Amino acid sequence: METIVSNYQGRNGHNGNGYGRQRPAAEVLVDARGIHKAYRTPAGDFLALKDVDLQISKGEFVAVTGKSGAGKSTLINMITGIDRPTGGAIYVGKNPLHEMGEDERATWRGQNVGVIFQFFQLLPALTCVQNVMLPMDFANRYATTQERRERALHLLEQVGIAEHADKLPSAVSGGQRQRVAIARALANDPAFLAADEPTGNLDSRTAADVFRVFEGLAADGKTILMVTHDRELAAQAGRIVRLADGEIVNGAGQGVSDANE
Amino acid sequence: MVRTRWQKVFIDLWRNRGRTLVVALAIAVGVFAVGGVLNTQELMLREFERGQSEARLADAVVYTIPFTESFAERVTRFPEVSVAEGRHVASGRTPISEGEWQNVVTISVPDFEAMEVDAVLPLQGSFPPGDREIVLEHLSLDYLGMAVGERLDLEMDNGARKQLRIAGTVHDPQQMTPEIMGDVVGYVTPETMTLLGETGQFTELRIRVADHAEDRRHVEAVVAQVEDQIEASGRPVLGSRIPERFIRPIIDTLLVIISTFGGMILFLSGFLVVNVISALITQQIKQIGVMKLIGARRSQVISLYLLTVLVYGAIAVAIGLPLSVVASRFFMKTSIEGLLNIVSESYSLPPLLIAAQVAIGLLLPLAAGLLPAWRGTRITTFEALNDAGVAKRSPSQGAIEPLLARLQGAGLVRRPLVLALRNTLRHKGRLAQTLFVLIFGTALFIAVLTVRSSVNETIDGFLRFHQYDVSVELDGHYRQPALEQVALGVPDVAAVETWSTGAGTRLRADGSKSSPFMVNALPPDTALMSPRIDGGRWLEPEDGRAVVVNSDVTKDEPDLHVGSEIVLDLNGREAAWQVVGIVSTVARGPAIYVPLATYAHLTGTPGQATQVKVVTAEHDAAAQEQVKEALFTAFEQAGIGVSRTETTQEIRGQNELMFNLIVIFLIIMALLLAAVGGLGLTTTMSINVLERIREIGVLRAIGAANPAVRKIVVAEGVLIGVLSWVIGFLISFPVGAKMSEVIGMALLNIPLTYRYSALAAAVWFVAIVLIAVAASLGPARNAVKLTVREVLAYE
């Protein structure tokens, strides 16, 4: 069986390994300043993020690490517009996510961000290819259903599972589901990909394969923000941002690379 | 190629095809109910009105001594009269089996081909009838079980007996079926009437007024003018009547009943859609989150659920609409046409009506689904993605939890029941929504059958009204002792009373006259009447000019009440009377009751009577029939002319038929309500189990065996069913009472005699428990079929 790595080559022709480290700091894509996020709980307000500042440049591959409950997922939710901060400002490109409504953020996300989760979040009733076509349908991208299908098949081929295109997610393995999720995230060709523990539910070999896909995407110029607590994988990203108790303890600044630490 | 999002809708519908079918069926029942109502209404009203308008019914009938056609033509020239035609109506009888006779009303018509009033329309055979021929009203021919071309053996009240060839059948829309009216009706030429020993001239002047025919007071005024003119020409006026349009009120009542229930059934179906879509959205919260995650706007998500509802609606229309068309035509042909004497020209339904039903079937569920879809998709992407599948909020403690703990501690309830109770009561909002459909269905089901019981009770009451078994109407006044002697000489006669009947009118203070009503003159201490007194009292032996009126009289003369002084014209004798009581109508039109002695004295017939009421030793139909025939023979032999005989069993049959149509509709409605209620429970149970499939997995993971899980699920279903039954049962009392009152008032101008249908309550209880068990078993079986791992991973 072909591996993802052999299948997915960056557009620049190399496999993308360590690419983020070689790329100079450039135009800021994500600019989060003074982010607060509090959750109401029966025991009182819980502050998940405390005055977080984070800038990510275009084309950067940033890994976010930290212990469980450190605020990693909350941070990625803020930056992808899944949730809204209770304080502070987040701009992705020129879009002020902190000011946008739920629907506006959904539309923006559909066109500009690909989001990948640990548990894949595929729609169980749709086949793999239909799952990949759905974001194009919602965003009204590509003129016809036929065009969308062709693109979806192309993306599935890129992530190495074209032969499973017409199977239901329940009929393929965890690693294959995650590749479908990645293909879906790429459906509308977003410049920015956000992944929350994308390898957390996979065995180490498959995890490494999936990570290589991200490296390839980074090599292709995609900006990637990945939450992981796998230090080894994180070390291969361009920059590591470390969170603890809702605060960034390391790696907040634009283009700061501490991947070798 | 279909867009991916729509493909998702169709795939979801197909994957849950059991639920799709159940929901679509529930809506189909609603579409069927409303479609059936609208189609039946269209066919019934259109064909009834067409028949009525083609017949050009008389607005009034004036009775006088025999006259010729030229006299009727002179009346036609009166400015207020549009047309007047003569008729002669004679009664007789025909043998139908050994010793059994059937009353026959024979009507002579001056010119069958130029009938402009009360026209009859030829249906079968030859028309018009020739000499020695008769054309029968088509329902009469069916009733007699005879065929065109056969000979009808007719014995007239005047003693003449002739055989007439049945030349054909006609449709006379103002005749109801002989099963209700008791009489077979036929039409002959004046020449044939002469052969039957009757006058070849006419004694009834049937009139259509020039305008304002719907204004009863105006018609009465025209009749008064015509009567004055007749009297001025030297002829006596023997009486007059304004024909009651009694079929139309029955139709109107029927339409009110079926429209109301049709609407309620559709409302229940709509509510079911609300429940299903709410549940579907709750079940798919995570999917909604994913769709929003990948860029779906709320409106796009809503559109998915609305398409789901649209598909439910489309399936429902595809099932319900053709069935409603077929059912309304079937019902029209098998019940309505016969009972209301409608001869349908066509069963076609206007395309606009069909389009309206399609629109109702599609749009109403859509409207019902909009609110839950709107509410359900309000959830943010974050909340939706973090929905764990198990309820976010822990069950509220309230008073239930400690109570359950105490019950369980005391060993009063077992653990599965406690779990079922806790599950049932967990989502109180959802439970309320579910229960609403079932409570509403339960209450209406019982109430509808309570109306049916009340109809039966009312009919029984009518029969108790008449405590006699056989009534013999004589052709004139005869001495009371002679009548009693003849009657008591007949075997199996237990008791006899003699009454008199006649026609009377009220002379109003403004000089106008009321429509005529039937006058019953009877001994005040009669043992043969048990009227339901609505106001005042019944007649007493010391009463002089005391009158008891029935509720049909007070309907026509609304100023009358107990204590009113009224002037009555009885056989041309005017006198003041006092209203002492009001009794319920026995479905036989306006009537008054006066002391026989006072009446006889006033009309110059002291010691005489025109009717004999007989109590038989046995009261079954056969015994009554036998005594009726024996009485007829005995009176004829004694030289006492009999014009009509009737048994109370016959009256019962006629009354029952009157109500039959309504009862049939009520039962159909009850069955449809039961169907919606049952489908509602089935859907609810499937959804409840699906929703908690993960929880079931947890239960099994911690060691619950399959039978235990099944028991919990089934107990929960039964609990919901029983809970809805208890509340619906309580509500059915006032609802049933109110419905009996409203339907009674609409139909008879009196509330039906209320009788609660305990049988309906019991039947529904058994049905709801069985449905609950059946509806829960399927999903419970599916739930335990999945492995623990699959269930816990269930999305």
For B569-589, what is each residue's pLDDT tens digit?
A: 887 788 999 999 998 765 567
Section B779-783 average pLDDT: 71
Smallest CA-to-CA distance from B593 within B534, B516, B517 is with B517
Searching chain B, which residue's CA lies closest to the CA of residue A121? B290
Here the tokens at position A63 are 């890994």
Searching chain A, which residue's CA lies closest to the CA of residue B381? A82
Please work out, in degrees rounded to the nearest 5, the angle formed at the alpha carbon of residue B547 by the alpha carbons of B541 and B553.
150
The one-letter code for the residue type at B91 is S
Q: Are B299 and B56 in contact (CB under 8 A)?
A: no
- A145 neighbourhood in chain B, CB within 8 Å: 1-4
- B290 neighbourhood in chain A, CB within 8 Å: 121-123
Q: Using one digit for the tens of pLDDT, what is the confidence trace for A58-80?
A: 989 999 999 888 899 899 999 99
Q: Using one digit for the tens of pLDDT, what is the confidence trace for B527-571?
A: 888 777 888 999 999 998 999 998 888 888 888 999 999 999 887
Ranking B204-208, B256-260, B572-576, B578-582 by mean pLDDT, the lowest is B256-260
The one-letter code for the residue type at B316 is A
Q: Are B549 and B558 in contact (CB under 8 A)?
A: no
- Where b means 16+ CB within 10 Å and e means fewer, A145-162 reads beebbebbbebbebbbbb
Residues with Cβ < 8 Å from A166, sequence gap 6 or more? Answer: A127, A128, A129
Count of CB pairs separated by less than 8 Å, A with B: 89
- Where b means 16+ CB within 10 Å and e means fewer, B56-90 reads bbbbbbbbbeebeeebbeebbebebbbbbbbbbbb
Q: Are B293 and B326 in contact (CB under 8 A)?
A: no
Q: First vs last Cα of chain A: how many Å apart?
A: 35
Name the residue facing B795 among A115, A124, A133 (closest C-beta). A124
The one-letter code for the residue type at B591 is A
Give the distance from residue A125's alpha carbon to the nearest chain B alpha carbon, in angstroms.
Answer: 7
Section B489-511 average pLDDT: 90
Residue A56 has phi, psi (to 5 degrees) of -125, 130
- B15 neighbourhood in chain A, CB within 8 Å: 125
Q: Is A148 on the interface with B (CB under 8 A)?
A: yes
- A74 neighbourhood in chain B, CB within 8 Å: none
Instruction: Note the maximum CA span of chain A.
Output: 54
Element at B476 (helix H, strand E): strand B470-479
pLDDT of residue B793: 54
Angle B298-331/B247-283 helices, nearest 10 degrees?
Answer: 150
Q: Is B595 exposed, middle or buried (0-12, 13-18, 19+ CB in 10 A)?
A: buried
What is chain B's length? 795
Comparison of pLDDT for A19 and B495, the residue scoring more = B495
Section B746-763 average pLDDT: 84
Here the tokens at position B136 are 């029968």
B358 three-state secondary structure? helix
Q: Using one digit for the tens of pLDDT, what is the confidence trace for B77-89?
A: 988 899 999 999 9
pLDDT of residue A15: 37
Cross-chain Cβ contact A121/B380 below 8 Å: no
- Quick check: B511 pLDDT over 70? yes
Name the residue facing B295 among A126, A139, A145 (closest C-beta). A139
Give the distance from residue A44's alpha carbon to the nearest chain B alpha carbon, in angstroms.
Answer: 16
Name the residue facing B294 among A105, A138, A146 (closest C-beta). A138
Q: How many CB atoms lie within 10 A of CB B607?
A: 15
Q: How confident is the model at residue B788 (pLDDT cuts 50, 70, 90)?
A: low
Residues from B contacting A (CB-CB < 8 Å) are 1-5, 7-8, 11-12, 15, 286-287, 289-300, 380-382, 385, 795
Q: Using one digit for the tens of pLDDT, what is the confidence trace for B701-724?
A: 777 777 877 887 788 888 888 988
Section B340-353 average pLDDT: 92
- B291 neighbourhood in chain A, CB within 8 Å: 123, 134, 138
The string of DSSP codes covering chain A is: ---HHHH---TTSS--TTHHHHSPP-SEEEEEEEEEEEEEETTEEEEEEEEEEEEEETT-EEEEEE-TTSSHHHHHHHHTTSS--SEEEEEETTEETTT--HHHHHHHHHHHEEEEETT----TTS-HHHHHHHHHHHTT-SSSHHHHHHHHHHHHHHTT-GGGTTS-GGGS-HHHHHHHHHHHHTTT--SEEEEESTTTTS-HHHHHHHHHHHHHHHHTT-EEEEE---HHHHTTSSEEEEEETTEEEE--STT---TT-
pLDDT of residue A257: 45
Residue with tokens 């009507």: B107
Average pLDDT value for chain B: 85
Average pLDDT value for chain A: 83
Section B475-484 average pLDDT: 91
Handedness of CA B613, B619, B625, B630 (dihedral sign): negative
Q: Using one digit for the tens of pLDDT, what is the confidence trace for B367-395?
A: 988 988 998 899 899 888 886 443 344 44
Question: What is the DSSP pairing of strand A192-196 with strand A223-227?
Answer: parallel
pLDDT of residue B795: 44
Here the tokens at position B382 are 């974050």
Q: First vs last Cα of chain B: how many Å apart?
A: 28
Q: Which residues pair with B386 in a beta bridge?
A: none
- Where b means 16+ CB within 10 Å and e means fewer, B498-513 reads bbbbbbbbbbeeeeeb
Ranking B128-142, B185-199, B334-348 by mean pLDDT, the lowest is B334-348
The one-letter code for the residue type at A154 is H
Here the tokens at position B290 are 């994913």
Distance in angstroms (rounded) separating the CA atoms of residues B45 and B245: 14
Ranking B184-193, B626-635, B772-781 by mean pLDDT, the lowest is B772-781
Distance in angstroms (rounded) separating the CA atoms of residues B728 and B735: 10
Cross-chain Cβ contact B385/A121 below 8 Å: yes
Cross-chain Cβ contact B1/A145 below 8 Å: yes
pLDDT of residue A12: 38
Residue B494 has phi, psi (to 5 degrees) of -95, -35
Q: Using one digit for the tens of pLDDT, what is the confidence trace for B674-696?
A: 787 777 777 777 766 666 666 77
Sheet hosting strand A113-117, strand order edge to edge = A113-117, A192-196, A223-227, A61-66, A239-244, A247-250
State the best of A49, A105, A121, A201 to mutate against chain B, taking most chain B CBs within 10 Å. A121
- Where b means 16+ CB within 10 Å and e means fewer, A11-49 reads eeeebbbbbbeebebeebbbbbeebbbbeeeeeeeebbb
- B8 neighbourhood in chain A, CB within 8 Å: 123, 125-126, 130, 134
- B293 neighbourhood in chain A, CB within 8 Å: 82, 106, 109, 115, 121
pLDDT of residue B97: 79
- B381 neighbourhood in chain A, CB within 8 Å: 81-83, 102, 105-106
Cross-chain Cβ contact B795/A184 below 8 Å: no
Q: Are A2 and A200 in contact (CB under 8 A)?
A: no
Distance in angstroms (rounded) separating the CA atoms of residues B670 and B434: 20
Name the residue facing B294 among A103, A110, A146 (closest C-beta). A110
What is chain A's length? 261
Here the tokens at position B706 are 């399959």
State the best of B4, B300, B302, B789 to mutate against chain A, taking most chain A CBs within 10 Å. B4
Distance in angstroms (rounded) separating the CA atoms of residues B543 and B547: 9
Instruction: Note the maximum CA span of chain B.
Output: 105
Q: Using one digit for the tens of pLDDT, what is the confidence trace for A5-15?
A: 333 333 333 33
Give the distance from residue B378's alpha carbon to the nearest chain A alpha carbon, in angstroms.
Answer: 9
Q: Which percentage of chain B shows pLDDT scores above 90?
A: 37
pTM of the model: 0.76
Distance in angstroms (rounded) separating the CA atoms of residues A24 and B85: 112
pLDDT of residue A113: 93
Section B455-476 average pLDDT: 82
- B385 neighbourhood in chain A, CB within 8 Å: 82, 117, 121
Cross-chain Cβ contact B8/A111 below 8 Å: no
Angle B400-409/B415-426 helices, nearest 10 degrees?
Answer: 170
Give the C-alpha distances (Å, rounded to integers) separating B437 from B320, B393, B433, B442, B720. 20, 25, 7, 9, 11
- Quick check: B151 pLDDT over 60? yes
